[in-house]
Amino acid sequence: MEWLGKRGVAKEQIGQLVMLLQKDYYPELTLDECVTNVEAVLSKREVQNAVLTGIQLDMLAEKGELLPPLQDMIWYDEGLYGCDEVLALSIVNVYGSIGMTNFGYVDKFKPGVLKKLNEKNGKDVHTFLDDIVGAIAASASSRIAHRKQAEREAMQEALGSEEGKQ
């Protein structure tokens, strides 16, 4: 969270993306619950490694410290440079295939904080960060979906065993 914060991203902003992805499926969902799931995603070592790697590559590009042609590819966030999405997918893969569709959605439409991160101002580079933030949100959304499904199944099982007793 420290490095995300230094780059201008708060966990509440990621939680808002999670809310956007899940509100139609779980209208009772709260921002606090979304943020809790963001924190759970960020507690995973694989996620932390991807976050640190991507942020540092963005920072090196801001300083012009990468070798050509990589420097220009990251500086300009070239469309055919897909390593930023591949790194983000390493986060999404922790939570299953539903995360991939959520990631694809936020990566294409860039809602919320992703729109700000994707703006080119000639100073800040967020080539990796926008995808990483989208992947964290997609993963937290997947985590919620998996947990809500497990809750439904447990409820159905409990109801089934109650009916069997009667």
Give per-residue pLDDT as tens, 124-156.
Answer: 999 999 999 999 999 999 999 999 999 999 999
The pLDDT, as a whole number, for residue 115 is: 97
Tokens (6 digits) for 58? 């963005």
Instruction: Decide if pLDDT at 166 tops 70.
Output: no
Is the distance from CB of 136 to CB of 14 less than 8 angstroms? yes
pLDDT-above-70 percentage for the chain: 97
Tokens (6 digits) for 87? 């790194």
Q: CA neighbours within 13 Å on the CB side: how many for 152?
A: 8
pLDDT-above-90 percentage for the chain: 91
Q: At what angle do helices 31-42 and 129-165 cross, to 10 degrees?
A: 110
Tokens 């966030």 correspond to 77
Instruction: Decide if pLDDT at 67 tops 90.
Output: yes
The pLDDT, as a whole number, for residue 161 is: 73
- Indicate the burial class of 82 (C-beta count within 10 angstroms; 0-12, 13-18, 19 or more): exposed
Tokens (6 digits) for 45? 């070592």
Distance of alpha carbon 15 from alpha carbon 152, whole angstroms? 23
Q: Which ranges constitute the DSSP H helices of 23-128?
A: 31-42, 45-62, 70-75, 83-92, 97-109, 113-118
